[in-house]
Structure 1
């Protein structure tokens, strides 16, 4: 009986620690940085694909080969980042449980991540025509919605930091007033 209580306390302690990690400004900063990198990678792939960023080579065949290789490398880098987002969402679901589904933005974010991850995997490991690849790439571009997520992350950090700062200042002011009253009481005695 005691073991099961210890296990429950351990799990709830782990959940509390993980919730602190997920809601810390450092974690939000890392997520923002990864989103920015992911968006930049997607933009570079698009710019290479439409020849805004040119790949130079000695022959047209070599140029096409280099272009495909660059796009593939950028695609795998973006796939690595989206994999981290998948892990983040799965951990959030595990830690927050049913409360995860209370936040519509989190649900929308999770759907975008899972769908684009699946499409990315399909593109990475299955031979498809350029028409299909380009169509699916447009769907993957939905990840750009995460720019909005950056704003939400920043807003969350500000919303959390400002009240904490105000509370700390209020406590410091109350403590200073209490100390002043105490000193005043001591000087009267």
Structure 2
């Protein structure tokens, strides 16, 4: 038939019919990832600045300090009594070393979450910078100690781990400051309520005098 029209009409210029990338879909995907990233940072910041996190880190720091003191106590007592070769000494100290390494991993994760939540602004404080250096160095020393028994490494571990005492004091101070802020907020709210009631009573007395 002369009036037959082909189903697929080809242009004379020979345009490429391959699909073109859609810019709108790319922008939409990028905005979704940005939204998820901001939401993840917000949730992480809420957690790392929460009271639950401070109490958790405080408990872990107390356990870490207890492990450090236990290891030092065992080393001193066994050396003084000459029982370093007792069968229970090596497994006990090895278990304390593994326990400390596990806590160092937890503190390293906590450091990463803090930097992720607050960005590089978290390291603007000298205390946070020094604490971050101690966490990273302690983690490396714990890994080395797990594969070595050099006395130099052991002494470095004691020095850096004792920083946890300062960290524990810092966690106590953070908790105390949060409680002080809550108490201040409650007092301000009560003062505003009393001022409102006082203003209402003054208005009522003035209306009655008239």
**TM-score, scaled to structure 2:** 0.73
Residue correspondences, number: 179
Give the equivalent residue in structure 1 for 2:102: 80
Q: Distance in 2 between matches of 1:178 and 1:5?
A: 46
Question: Residue 65 of structure 1 aligns to a residue in which SS?
Answer: coil
Give the equivalent residue in structure 2 for 1:136: 153
The answer on whether the counterparts of 1:48 and 1:54 sit within 8 Å (CA) in structure 2 is no
Do residues 151 (structure 1) and 169 (structure 2) align?
Answer: yes
Give the equivalent residue in structure 2 for 1:26: 52
Give the equivalent residue in structure 1 for 2:141: 119
Q: Distance in 2 between matches of 1:30 and 1:113?
A: 17
Q: Distance in 1 between matches of 2:79 and 2:182?
A: 46
CA deviation after TM superposition for structure 1 residue 3, in Å: 4.8
The answer on whether the counterparts of 1:47 and 1:53 sit within 8 Å (CA) in structure 2 is no
- What stretches of structure 1 of length at least 5 have no aligned partner? none
Question: Residue 64 of structure 1 aligns to a residue in which SS?
Answer: coil
CA deviation after TM superposition for structure 1 residue 163, in Å: 2.7
CA deviation after TM superposition for structure 1 residue 5, in Å: 3.8
The answer on whether the counterparts of 2:54 and 2:175 sit within 8 Å (CA) in structure 1 is yes
Deviations 1:29-65 (A, max 9, x none): 221111111011111111112225999xxxx79x533
Deviations 1:157-184 (A, max 9, x none): 2223313321232123212322443466
Do residues 42 (structure 1) and 42 (structure 2) align?
Answer: no
Give the equivalent residue in structure 1 for 2:89: 67
CA deviation after TM superposition for structure 1 residue 22, in Å: 1.4
Q: Distance in 1 between matches of 2:29 and 2:175?
A: 38
Do residues 102 (structure 1) and 128 (structure 2) align?
Answer: no
More helix by share: 1
Q: Distance in 1 between matches of 2:137 and 2:181?
A: 36
Q: Distance in 2 between matches of 1:54 and 1:29?
A: 37
Do residues 162 (structure 1) and 180 (structure 2) align?
Answer: yes
**TM-score, scaled to structure 1:** 0.80
Q: Report the more deviating stretch, 1-10 or 12-21.
A: 1-10
Question: Residue 137 of structure 1 aligns to a residue in which SS?
Answer: helix
Q: Distance in 2 between matches of 1:32 and 1:146?
A: 10
Deviations 1:57-102 (A, max 9, x none): xxx79x5332101111111111111111011011112222111220
Q: Structure 1 stretches (4+) deviating beyond 6 angstroms?
A: none
CA deviation after TM superposition for structure 1 residue 156, in Å: 2.0
